[in-house]
Amino acid sequence: MTKKPNCRRAAAAMLAAIERGKTMDEAADRLSDLSPPDRRLAKAMVMFALRRRGDISSILAKYIKRNIPGRPHLARALLQIGAVQILLMDIPDHAAVAETVNACGRGEAPYRGLINAVLRKLIKETKETDNKDTNKDWGLGYDPLSNFPDWMASNWLENYGDETAQIIADMHCQKPQLDLCFKSTDAIPAFMDALKQTDTSSLSADPLSPNLIRLSDTADVETLPGFDAGDWWVQDYAATLPVVWLDKMLSQNMTTDAQILDLCAAPGGKTMQLAALGHQVTALDISAARLDRLKANLSRTRLKADIIQADVMADNIAQLTDKTFDAILLDAPCSATGTIRRHPDLPLHRRDKDVLKLTEIQKAMLDHADQWLSIGGMLTYVTCSLDQREGEAQIKDFLDRHPNYEACAPAGLPEELCNQMSGEKGFSYLRTTPANWHDKGGMDGFFASVLRKIKA
């Protein structure tokens, strides 16, 4: 008989692979042999371990005199997986210990007794203090910033101040809710009615904007009403705002069916937004795999866009030769620190020096995009980064180098999410962080600016 794959061991293998440099998507193949319920459980364990990595390391350090090696076996990862079950998940303590210890293989045999003893001590401590994540600190003094690299935490403190930085970090430690962007407001009432009749009827849904609703919990999106009909797609509220702003500016310009070039477009949330608003979209991305996802999303939602696989920085892109557009949207490559809630592996993979390299790429892409924009056209620059070097400072530098552009005032956006760069050449911009609307579940961190090309 074939031995059933061990859920805890698979989770530990995925966590260890991420620690060695794999992304979550790349490491997910460690769960491929599990049943769907076990796969969901294993992934949840890994997500908890990543989101509270600093806290878990601190509390385990109380019981371990010397570090457990990370390779070649999985002992350290198994201990982390065991700890999150006891401290953070609704799993019976006896099952957390027994199943984790049973997941030890030959390589972990020397640490089997240690893992068993440490997990039992954690159980005893949580029972004595009766604080199973109630205060989030397990007697350590909860500091959410301790779950992130020092350079990242310092950047948030410098840019946003202590209170906001603490909330940003705390929100990054929590599972985000699910936002659905509808291509038409007409589909929302039917969705709400159908949701009440399904197995997911325990989910509540709240509108955040005319086209977007937020579900109270995550769900298997393919089982939600309207998925097959293509009525909606998953997109964080903050990610929708740059297109809302651009569309408002175009409508003020009497351009309701604009020709728009969407650079770095995949997987296509903003492409679908623009197409649903009636604009003629050309979506460009360098990655064939990511473009396949964009095509699949367009097919399901029955929306249209012209697709180009190319490098934004290429000197000659045949499909764009001698073409100009009414608007360009550049969702530039960035450190993506605004999306850590959804990608908790990012803090393991990012370094401060990476941001410096990315700012040079962003600068070059902005300069390169100018060739395809018509006089009077709009250039929208977007990053999902909390680092102001990739946002506010990047646009200030661009405007200093390009006096033929002017910044547009935000339009159609919540006032509390709009900011003003001070100084003689100040400009308005969109800035969101997970701390915004944190009582409603927060949002991803984004920067956006809309610039008008006033002359050649």
pLDDT at 135: 43
Looking at residue 109, its pLDDT comes to 92
Residue 245: strand, helix, or coil = helix
In a domain, 303, yes or no: yes
Q: Is residue 293 part of a domain?
A: yes
Distance (Å, rounded) from C-alpha 125 to C-alpha 62?
Answer: 12
Instruction: Determine the 3-state secondary structure of 195 from DSSP.
Output: helix
The enclosing domain of 42 has a CATH number of 1.10.940.10
Question: Residue 55, annotated ligand binder?
Answer: no
Residues 379 and 303 in one domain: yes
Q: Which two tokens stand for residue 364?
A: 């070059």
3-class secondary structure, 284: strand
DSSP letter (8 states) at residue 224: S
- Judge whether 337 lies within some domain: yes
pTM of the model: 0.93
The partner residues of 347 in beta bridges, in order of sequence, read none
| Residue 265 assigned to a binding site | yes
My answer on whether 193 and 337 are in the same domain is no
Tell me 132's DSSP state. Answer: S
Q: What is the pLDDT of residue 317?
A: 95
Same domain, yes or no: 192 and 274? no
Per-residue pLDDT at 216: 86
Statement to judge: residues 187 and 276 lie in one domain: no
* Residue 269, marked binder: yes
Say which residues have a Cβ less than 8 Å from residue 326's Cβ, sequence separation at least 6. Answer: 250, 255, 258, 259, 260, 374, 377, 378
pLDDT tens for 412-438 read: 999 999 999 887 778 999 999 999 999
Q: What's the pLDDT at 20?
A: 94
**Whether the Cβ atoms of residue 432 and residue 446 lie closer than 8 Å to each other:** yes
Tell me if 311 is assigned to a ligand binding site: yes
Residue 157 lies in a domain: no
φ and ψ at residue 119, rounded to 5 degrees: -65, -35
- pLDDT under 70 in the chain at which residues? 1-3, 128-141, 199-201
Q: Of the listed 104, 173, 384, 418, which one is catalytic?
A: 384
Asked if the structure places residue 438 within a domain, the reply is yes
pLDDT value of position 65: 80
Residue closest to 428 by CA, chosen among 387, 390, 399: 399
**What sign does the dihedral 416-418-421-426 (CA atoms) show?**
negative
**Domain match, 382 and 251 both:** yes
Contact by Cβ (8 Å): 70, 76:
yes
Question: Which tokens sit at 363?
Answer: 């600068």
The verdict on 118 and 46 lying in the same domain is yes
| Share of the chain residues as helix, strand and coil, in percent rounded to the nearest 5 | 50, 15, 35
- Please give the torsion angle defined by the CA atoms of residues 36, 299, 444 and 18, in that order, rounded to the nearest 10 degrees: 40
Instruction: Return the CATH number at 349.
Output: 3.40.50.150
So what's the pLDDT on residue 386? 98
Cα separations in angstroms, 176 against 45, 47, 309, 422? 15, 11, 32, 33
Task: Answer with the one of 170, 200, 223 that is the final residue of a domain.
Answer: 223
Q: What is the DSSP string of 388-424?
A: GGGTHHHHHHHHHH-TTEEEPPP-SS-GGGEEE--ST
Q: Which pLDDT belongs to residue 329?
A: 98
- C-alpha span between 436 and 168 (Å, rounded): 9
> Positive or negative CA dihedral for 411, 244, 373, 311?
positive
> What does the DSSP 8-state code read for residue 211?
T
**Residue ranges in 321-408 assigned as alpha helix (H):** 346-349, 352-369, 392-401
| 1 lies in some domain | no
217 appears as a binding residue in the annotation:
no
270 is in an annotated binding site: yes
pLDDT value for 199: 67
CB atoms within 10 A of CB 242: 24
Phi, psi of 291, deg, nearest 5: -65, -30
CA distance 368 to 193: 47
Q: Does residue 229 sit within a domain?
A: no
Residue 44 annotated in ligand binding:
no
> Do residues 317 and 308 touch, judged by C-beta distance below 8 A?
yes
Q: Are residues 436 and 345 in the same domain?
A: yes
230 labelled ligand-binding: no
Looking at the structure of the chain, the number of domains it has is 3
Same domain for 113 and 78? yes
Q: Are 203 and 219 in contact (CB under 8 A)?
A: yes
The question of whether 7 is a catalytic residue gets the answer no
At which of 223, 252, 287 does a domain end?
223
12 with 99, same domain: the answer is yes
Residue 139 annotated as lining a ligand binding site: no
Task: Say whether both 210 and 274 belong to one domain.
Answer: no
Q: Which residue has the tokens 């350090």?
A: 61
Range of the domain at 276: 237-453
Closest of 381, 366, 391 to residue 445, by C-alpha? 391
State the residue for tokens 């339009």: 411
Containing H/E element for 275?
A: helix 269-276
Q: Establish whether 418 is an annotated binding residue.
A: no
Helices 53-61 and 36-51 pack at an angle, to 10 degrees, of 80
Same domain, 288 and 349: yes
What is the pLDDT at residue 197?
Answer: 82
Question: Are residue 267 and residue 399 in the same domain, yes or no?
Answer: yes
